[in-house]
Amino acid sequence: MQPADLDEALTEQFEINRELWEVALEPWGSGVLPSAYELARARRSLQETLPNEGLGFAQTRDHILNDVVPGLNAASLSPNYYGFVTGGVTPAALFADNVVSTYDQNVQVHLPDHSIATDVEYRALGLLTDLLRLDRQIWQNGTFTTGATASNIMGLACGREFVLRAAAERRGSPVTSVGEYGLFEVMQAAGLSGVQVLSTMPHSSLGKAAGVLGIGRANLKSICSTSQDDNNPLEIDMQLLERELARPDRASTVAISCGEVNTGRFATTGIQQMQEIRRLCDKYGAWLHVDGAFGIFGRILYHPFSPEFSSITKGCEGMELADSITGDAHKFLNVPYDCGFFLCRHPSSGLAEDVFRNPNAAYLSSGKATATDTIPSPLNIGVENSRRFRALPVYASLVSYGRNGFQDLLQRQIRLARMIADWLFDHPAYTVLPTSRTKAELLHKTSMIVLFRANDETLNQELSKRINGTSKMFVSGTVWEGKPACRIAISNWRVDEQRDFAIVRNVLGRVAQM
């Protein structure tokens, strides 16, 4: 491509972006999923072999817009896409993401004389801690990742480094860093036979992280209470927790589910419980990690306090006592995929650097920190070297909407979820899960997610397929207590309680009569 052609292509690209923005920002009224015809047509249009002569920009543009785009779902565009806690893309985030693509910064090394990209990321982390009502002096340490999976890998990796380092140091061994010496060597030095992760109903990404890090998926252990006296499936058995932490042959990380994926509920119920967990972790040298995914954003409801959301604010209390917190910006913050975050309150200990340091790359020597640097090079504290400038849409969203804007969004999402749960509780064809003794109890515990199943077994086996087949809304199929169930996860910024409730009620009402 010649420079003149490039200039022309960029000009045309800006015009296409403008058109796409207009489509993306207008009220969404089309089907949530593409039709079978649109999917088949889009697949047939895809090039099977690489041509010797390219199609050129104009023809490729038309191919993408006319053939490929109709085969994509409206996960981020439609407020009625309730699968996978997808979220959407706010106008501010969409604008910033186009700037990200145009300027294409590789945010791996802090080069203050070259770019402010790392400054933007650092400030965005600070604004995020403000939103989550965390002490910026303690928590403005972390990085943006591809999502909760990468963030949970970082949390467990830092936890593994912390607990094994402490165990090896107690035995007087100089072999203390897993990042430097390897897992087997440090475990031998520490006199341990294994590392374990203790949690209640953890997200699957924690199991994946345990597998990646050599901890082992089999060592992700449940500490769920078997009593279920208060109908909380995430309840922690505190006696079991202490027995596991006290094992002399194991080092432990405790992972708190702050927003369980199927129900949206919380593993803890207030500051006193978190204080006790913190005490036990300190007593036995364990790392305390919070998988905040989307539930951690309930902290923005603290002020002004409202009894309407007390179960959610109680579930988020004490998260500042953790050692690390992960969350997804591409969920509640409604920024484009992919974007997660990892926060750690131990910057001075060098845990992240010991695990993720990028060694022996001479061409990156200019990225070494100096004594006056407050911003670390991201490649030394995270999984990736090459990194997209994903912090800019986060920064733009936080600046654009502020604490009150996100608080309003979360309140609308919760109120819609409770309207749906209220209606389903009385519907003879459906049961809301986990089962509640009273409607008041159900509504009190409902946050952004409604889990339910059909009472008729035949209908329940294909319930998600029938709902999604209407293309008016989309739900995730899941399993609860060994049986199929459906999950409505409300996370899009376009949510409108009355309009969206009417759509959900009409679809589920018709499906129940099929």
Higher pLDDT, 304 or 271: 271
Cα–Cα distance measured from residue 338 to residue 333, given in angstroms and rounded to the nearest whole number: 12
Are the C-beta atoms of residues 292 and 128 closer than 8 Å to each other? no
Reported as a single tens digit per residue, the pLDDT across 387-404 is 999 999 999 999 999 999
Q: Taking the model in full, what pTM does it have?
A: 0.92
Write the DSSP symbol of residue 199. E
pLDDT score for 365: 55
> Minimum mean pLDDT among 121-130, 239-248, 316-325, 364-373: which range?
364-373
Residue 138, CB-side half-sphere exposure with 13 Å CA sphere = 12
Q: Do the strands 430-433 and 449-454 form a parallel or antiparallel pair, or are they unpaired?
A: antiparallel
**pLDDT at residue 221 above 70?**
yes
Q: What is the bridge-based pairing of β-strands 474-480 and 250-257?
A: unpaired
pLDDT at position 7 is 59
Q: What's phi and psi for 292, nearest 5 deg?
A: -85, -15
The separation between CA 11 and the C-alpha centre of its own chain, rounded to angstroms, equals 35
Can you say whether the dihedral through the CA atoms of 93, 96, 98, 101 is positive or negative? negative
Asked if residue 369 has pLDDT above 50, the reply is no
504 burial via Cβ count (<10 Å: 0-12, 13-18, 19+): buried
For 292-349, the DSSP string reads: -TTGGGGGGGSSS--GGGHHHHHHHTTGGGSSEEEEETTTTT-PPSS-EEEEES-GGG
CA 10/CA 470 separation, integer angstroms: 39
Q: What is the pLDDT of residue 118?
A: 96
CATH fold label, 403-512: Aspartate Aminotransferase, domain 1 (3.90.1150)
Tokens 């165990």 correspond to: 167
pLDDT at 292: 94
| Token output for 294 | 């989307």
339 vs 365, more confident: 339
109-131 mean pLDDT: 95
Amino acid 20: pLDDT: 63
148-328: CATH architecture:
3-Layer(aba) Sandwich (3.40)
Residue 68, amino acid? V
User: What does the pLDDT average to over 9-18?
Assistant: 62
Provide the percentage of residues in the chain whose pLDDT is more than 70. Answer: 91
| pLDDT band at 29; cut points 50, 70, 90 | low
Q: What is the pLDDT of residues 453-469, one digit of tens each?
A: 999 999 999 999 999 99
pLDDT > 90 fraction of the chain, expressed in percent and rounded: 82
pLDDT confidence band for 348 (50 / 70 / 90): confident
- Alpha carbons 129 and 236: distance in angstroms, whole number: 27
Position 347 scores a pLDDT of 78
Distance in angstroms (rounded) separating the CA atoms of residues 313 and 299:
6
pLDDT at 5 over 80: no
Q: What average pLDDT does this structure show over 131-155?
A: 94
Kindly list the distances between the CA atom of residue 121 and the CA atoms of 91, 392, 395, 504, in Å, as whole numbers in the listed order: 20, 7, 8, 38
**pLDDT at residue 326 above 70?**
yes
pLDDT at 429: 98
Q: What is the 3-state secondary structure (H, E, C) of 134-195?
A: CCHHHHCCEEEECCHHHHHHHHHHHHHHHHHHHHHHHCCCCCCCHHHHCHHHHHHHHCCCEE
The amino acid at 248: P
Query: Has residue 371 got a pLDDT over 50?
Result: no
pLDDT at 160 over 90: yes
Interval 254-263: pLDDT, tens: 999 999 999 9
Q: Which residues contact 409 (CB under 8 A, 6 or more apart)?
A: 332, 334, 401, 493, 495
Written as six digits, the tokens of 336 are 């484009």
- Nearest-10 crossing angle of helices 271-284, 238-245: 20
Provide the pLDDT for residue 230. 56
Distances (CA, A) of 314 to 273, 302, 392, 444, 445: 10, 9, 31, 12, 11
3-state secondary structure of 126: helix
**SS3 labels along 399-433:** HHHHHHHHHHHHHHHHHHHHHHHHHHHHCCCEEEE
Please check the confidence at residue 373 and state whether its pLDDT lies above 90. Answer: no
Structure tokens at 364: 């990156």
